[in-house]
Amino acid sequence: MPRPDATTVPFLILTALLVLGAAMLHWMPVRGYAVSCERTSQVVCSLERTEATGPTRTLVPLGEGASAVVRVQQPRRGHSRVLLYLEAPATSVFAAEFEDSDAYDTANAAAAQLNRVLRSSAPGQARIEVVPPPLYRWLAWGGLAFMALLILAGYRATRSRASASPAAL
């Protein structure tokens, strides 16, 4: 089997990284959250997280005094993250992440909707669904396609230069 020449190796590495990036974009991102809370004799919430591999559901029993709380995490760099937690005196559980431009307002509205059931003494139920904006996904795939075009253009330029050089003859 012939060994690849020195001009081909960097493009093979970049292509492998491109394939890895495409795999991460397809399988890694969360596609949505759903939080359903029901109050009968006790409060039970169902947390659902949907990814490319399918939904993951968790049942969380919450006692009296449960509430939905919005937390804002300020990272060192980048945008702040708006997170919804379900809290009870004994536990605190992550429920959803909001990523829209008005994420804080949307998260507070969702928390208020859940709190109507969680803080009420009457039976009831509430459900919220959170879906990340598709713009981020389109931007990521567009960036990946742009990188693929750059790699292809660089490879073609290197190959045409190598075939035109006298050393190749």
pLDDT of 165 reads 64
pTM equals 0.70
- In this prediction, the residues of the chain whose per-residue pLDDT falls under 50 are 169
pLDDT of 169 reads 47
Q: Are 66 and 116 in contact (CB under 8 A)?
A: no
pLDDT of 93 reads 94
Residue of 17, 16, 26, 20 lying closest to 140 (CA atoms): 26
Residue 3 in 3-state DSSP? coil
